[in-house]
Structure formats: C-alpha cells, structure tokens
Amino acid sequence: MRGTAYFAMLCATLLSSCSGLKYATPERPLFAGFAVEWDQPPVEERKRLTEELADVVVPEPNTNILGMRPAAALHNAIKEPRKVNGLRNLLKNKIGSPPVQLADVPLNDINAAFENRLHNHGYFGAHSRYEVNIHGRKARVVFHVSPGTPHLLRSIAYGDSTDTLNLRIVREHSRSPLETGQLYELAKLDAERNRVASSLRNAGWYHMKDDDLVWAADTSKGVHVMDVRLRLKRNARAKAKQRYTIDVVRVHGDYDEALPANDTTVVDTVVYINYLNTYRPKTIVRGVFIRPDQFYSATRSDQTAQHLSSFGVFKSTRVNYTEDTLHTGVLHADVFLVPQKRWSLFSELNAVSSSNNFAGPGLRIGLKDRDIFRGAEMLSADLNGRFETQIAGDRKGTNAYEIGVKVSCRSLVSFPSAACAPCAAPLPPHARTSATVFSDAWVCTGWNPSTPHSAMCGGTTRGYGTMPASLK
C-alpha cells in the first residue's frame, strides 16, 4: 500500500514537471490552445476555411501530449547556455522550445487577419472577435467568426479596347475557368490573370508581367454582386504593350567564352557559330525551336533549353534575348551551349561474398565518349571482371570467373514532327522527335576448366523512339 502511494506521488511529480507551467502565473498564463467557431457558417467549404483561419494563429501553442508539454518543460529545465554551439543550447533552444504565453499572441492582429482572409473569399462583411478563458495558469482563446453574405460574380469581361493587345486578351475569355454566379475568390482571379499573362508572353509580348494586368471590380450593380473585367493596367509600361518578333537566331554550338568564333554557317535560317568544330551544325539546330520572323514565345524558349539539355552532352544551355537598337519590337536570340568534357573514364574495385560460400574481388572499368560521330551521340563502354573462389563447403577451392562487356550508343535520330500525329499535344514549329538506339554487347561467364564447368555468352540489340520530356 505504501509502495503504491510512493508510485502515485512520483507520477504526479513527473507530470507536474513536464507540464511546462514552471514560469506561468494567473497574470501571465500559458497559451494552452484556441478554437475557431462560426456564428454563421460560410456558404461553402467550411472545413477548408476553418483550417485556413487556424493557420493564421501564430505563435502556435506548445505541443501537448496527454497534458504534458515536454519541449517547453525541457526549455524551462535547462539553464541559459553560455555557448551558441554547445550541448546546453541544443537541448534548450533546438530540441526544447520556449513556453508560449498568452501575452505573446497578437489577438487583435489575428482578428484583423481573419477578416482579411475572408475578404479574399468574397465575404466583405466578415467580422471576427475573440474570447479568452483563463483556468489557473492556462488560457484558451475562442475566436467567434461571422462571415456575412458573400459577393458573387455577376459578369466577367476581358479587355477594354480594340487594339491588338486587348483583342488578344479578349480571345482568352473562351478558355477562362471562371463562371458567372460563383463566389468571388481572389486566388482564382489571380491564377486566371497569371494564365492570361503567360499566354501573352507566348504570343510576342516579351516584357509582359503578371502585375501588368489587373481585375477591375464594380459593386454598384446590385447587392452582394460584382462585375469584374480583366484589363491592362492604366500605368503599364510602354514595353509591356510592345509585341516582339524574332529577327536573328544564333546558336553557339560549342561555346567557350575564352575563344573567338572559328566558323559561321546558316542552317535552316539559323546562324550556327562554331568555336571548336565539335558538332555537326544540322544535328544541333534540329533541337532549336526558335526561328526568325516568329513572335517571341517563352514556352518555345523553355522547350529549346530543356530539349538541348536532354542530349546529355552539354554542361549548360541557356537562351538569351537582346533588343535591336535600331528597330522597335525586334529581338535577337542567342542559344549558348557549353559542352561537357568529351571523354570520361572511371574505375571501380569491389569485393563480393555470396551465400554459396564464394568470395572474391571484382573490377569495373568504364569509358564514355559524348560525341563519337560529331552528332552529339553518346557511346558508353563498360568492362566488368570478377574472380571468386569457394572458401568453404564440399567444393572448397573451386574458382569461378565472370567477364562482361556492355556497350551502348545513344544517337539522336530526327524525324519530321508530322510523324508524331498521335501525340495529344501539338509540337512547336520545326520540332523533331528523337530515337535512341542501344547495343548491349556480350557477357561471358564460366568455371575454371579444371572443374566441371559451364559457360554462357549472349548479346542483345534494342532500339526505341522517345519524345523529349518538355514536348510531350
């Protein structure tokens, strides 16, 4: 009986020491938790809105496990560290965390943030208040939220003029996911504005930014309804309104900033500049989807950089644009391709121990040529060798060996884009598919001739067509 009493006292002492209330007082209580309650439920997505409002509450209460707050208790138990990188600092400030008191929580700011978040969802009449309940040295806050009646979209319009830019904006209306009658949602309006701006950048407006487009809202047409119109900002920059055309496209195939250009040739209206005469110009130009007289397109530039990177022979690929100094609305494109080292050699030494009591060393040697035929082909050759001997069992002393050779050649073979008619997404102009061909050479294994042996040799050749990931 006495032992039970001692055990109960010990448990009570441990629980009290882990509560994190060491420095809390009724005047400065610990922030124990909060709740969001709706005086009037929102029209839709109540759970999502509740979670969004709960994320606004910062700082959060200390982690509570069955009434215990071990992180706060550890912080209170450790003295102030003298060293920034010491063990005491690790325990007190990294593993432990300071107790969050009610005075640390900006309740008025959280109330204002609640109302602002609801404004973003169309509840412009939202109101929030809080109630603090103190029990001993702990305090709990209840936020009472009243969203009010939300605003609905009565009409949605695009553009406000008849110039080329505004007519292009009007064309995007047919692709809009917004519908009349739905709730005002700031996030959805922002996403739609960004989509239209991206479409404009792909149609020649090189300097167009998302912020150059704005939604104009009119709430005077009725109660809790609004008319919205996507238009160009009144004080938008002149360059944002200018549509740009590509004039000269230059491809620096084996670019080295320390070397002067060695040779220049024109392939399919593209100027190819040689520095080290590493690649055949026609092979590289096939992977460039930018051509003169096209309108500037951000997507086409990204596809060019990604597709050329997929060759596996370039250290870096980038597409730069410069404006013509004499003509307005004209861009010059430069594609810089910095090659990797052509040759690479590696070796690997390992040891193998298997469950059948065989053990021994192994050696692997590999060679890679990233431009074997001057068409960005990649040749890889691996030589594997292994020698094993049985170190226990009935055949102790039996030797085995394995010799393997693997050769693969990756070649980019071009086909007209029409060959990809089954593809769901249309390819850009001058796009090409690519094919990769592998040849796996022979692998031979065998036993020592002095013992019963067997040998096996084999080889395979395989090939398949692939689409660049950026063009799928």
pLDDT 10s digits, 100-131: 899 999 999 999 999 999 999 999 999 999 99
Instruction: Indicate which CATH number applies to the domain containing 207.
Output: 3.10.20
In eight-state DSSP terms, residue 182 is S
In eight-state DSSP terms, residue 66 is T
411 near 375, Cβ under 8 Å?
A: yes
Whether the predicted model's global pTM rises above the 0.85 cut? no
180 near 90, Cβ under 8 Å?
A: no
Find where tokens 């070397």 sit.
Answer: 259
Among 264-273, 342-351, 414-423, where is mean pLDDT lowest? 414-423
The domain boundary, picked from 216, 241, 266, lies at 241
The domain boundary, picked from 275, 305, 339, lies at 339
The domain boundary, picked from 127, 146, 165, lies at 146
Identity of the residue numbered 336: F
- CA 268-272-274 angle, to 5 degrees, is 150
Instruction: Say if residue 173's pLDDT is above 80.
Output: yes
Instruction: Indicate which CATH number applies to the domain containing 323.
Output: 3.10.20.310
In eight-state DSSP terms, residue 101 is B
Residues 301-340 have pLDDT tens digits of 999 999 998 888 888 999 999 999 999 999 999 999 998 8
196 near 213, Cβ under 8 Å?
A: yes
Residue 195 belongs to domain spanning: 152-241
Residues 57 and 131 grouped into a single domain:
yes
Q: Extract the tokens encoding 385.
A: 């060798």
Residues 306 and 269 grouped into a single domain:
yes
Residues 365-384 have pLDDT tens digits of 888 877 777 777 778 888 88
Q: Which of 162, 157, 230, 240 is nearest to 200 (CA)?
A: 240
Residues 374 and 439 grouped into a single domain:
yes
pLDDT at 470: 37
Among 3-12, 20-29, 138-147, 196-205, where is mean pLDDT lowest? 3-12
HSE (CB half, 13 Å, CA atoms) of 349?
1
> Taking residues 421-428, what's their average pLDDT?
38
Residues 139 and 6 grouped into a single domain:
yes
Residues 47 and 10 grouped into a single domain:
yes
Distance CA 168, CA 186 (A): 23
Find where tokens 């209306």 sit.
Answer: 173
Residue 472: pLDDT band with limits 50, 70, 90 = very low
Distance CA 234, CA 354 (A): 75
Mean residue pLDDT across the chain? 82
Residues 178 and 230 grouped into a single domain:
yes
Residues 193 and 235 grouped into a single domain:
yes
411 vs 54: which has the higher pLDDT: 54
pLDDT at 119: 96
> Taking residues 198-203, what's their average pLDDT?
96
Q: Count of domains in the chain?
A: 4
pLDDT at 413: 52
Residues 264 and 361 grouped into a single domain:
no
